[in-house]
Amino acid sequence: AQKVTQAQTEISVVEKEDVTLDCVYETRDTTYYLFWYKQPPSGELVFLIRRNSFDEQNEISGRYSWNFQKSTSSFNFTITASQVVDSAVYFCALSRFYNNNDMRFGAGTRLTVKP
Amino acid sequence: GAVVSQHPSRVICKSGTSVKIECRSLDFQATTMFWYRQFPKQSLMLMATSNEGSKATYEQGVEKDKFLINHASLTLSTLTVTSAHPEDSSFYICSALDRGPGEQFFGPGTRLTVL
């Protein structure tokens, strides 16, 4: 069975602070994909990153960075110098390797960035 | 990236009526589409997998007679909520699988309110 745990239900930070959103996953598959999505108040999911299980390199994209550690089954997401526009719900998700079938989402973390 | 549309974006209906939601892949053919449901402040839960030309596969606990799925073409899947009740009020999100890159692309969602 596949499972994604986002233990942080809500996080509140002040603008310009760094914040890390945690994601821990469970799967019996040896090959799989991990994702992060942003869901602003409008509701539309915004794709942030997809990482396959073969690639443990950390990734940086502007103020966003991701730390994938298979040893601890974690795929954490850090926002550096947070901004008010980063306020949203962030979902971590896991899918089987082939064709992203059977995508399972974590419960989500609601991030509020205060000015 | 690929574009997936949903129609309508919002719908309000009376209890007991049926509502149809459309999901279209605009620039690719999708043999597989997925339907998710998201209750307020909760995560996305997969309801069913829709395969073009065949019956949908429903997740455990989802009533197939209540949530009718039709995937009649390679670019269109429809979800019909039959005899809707207030507890069916939710945010319904579809996604379409583009087998070329092997990625799921999400629609903007449909907010259903049943009075």
- Whether B104 has its CB under 8 Å from any CB of chain A: the answer is yes
Residue B70 has a pLDDT of 92
Q: Which of B56, B18, B41 is nearest to B90 (CA)?
A: B41
Residue B53 has a pLDDT of 85
* DSSP for A78-111, written as a single string: EESS--GGG-EEEEEEEEETGGG-S-EE---EEE
What is the average pLDDT across A77-82?
97
Substitution target in A44, A89, A111 with the highest count of B β-carbons within 10 Å is A44
Using the beta-carbon criterion (under 8 Å), do B46 and A50 form an inter-chain contact? no
CA B111 to chain centre: 11
Residue A103 has a pLDDT of 86
Using the beta-carbon criterion (under 8 Å), do A99 and B93 form an inter-chain contact? no
Residue with tokens 């574009």: B3
Instruction: Please determine, for residue A100, whether its predicted confidence score (pLDDT) is greater than 70.
Output: no
Q: Which of B1, B18, B12 is nearest to B110 (CA)?
A: B12
Residue in chain B lying closest to A42 (CA): B108
For the segment A30-72, what is each residue's pLDDT rounded down to a tens digit? 889 999 999 999 899 999 999 989 888 888 999 999 999 999 9
Instruction: Please determine, for residue B94, whether its predicted confidence score (pLDDT) is greater than 90.
Output: yes
DSSP state of A6: -
Q: Which of B12, B6, B34 is nearest to B89 (CA)?
A: B12
Alpha carbon of B14: minimum distance to chain A alpha carbons (Å): 23
Who among A44, A95, A99 is closest to B109 (CB)?
Answer: A44
Who among B44, B103, B111 is closest to A100 (CB)?
Answer: B103
Using the beta-carbon criterion (under 8 Å), do A47 and B108 form an inter-chain contact? no
For the segment B51-92, what is each residue's pLDDT rounded down to a tens digit? 888 889 999 999 999 999 999 899 999 999 999 999 999 999
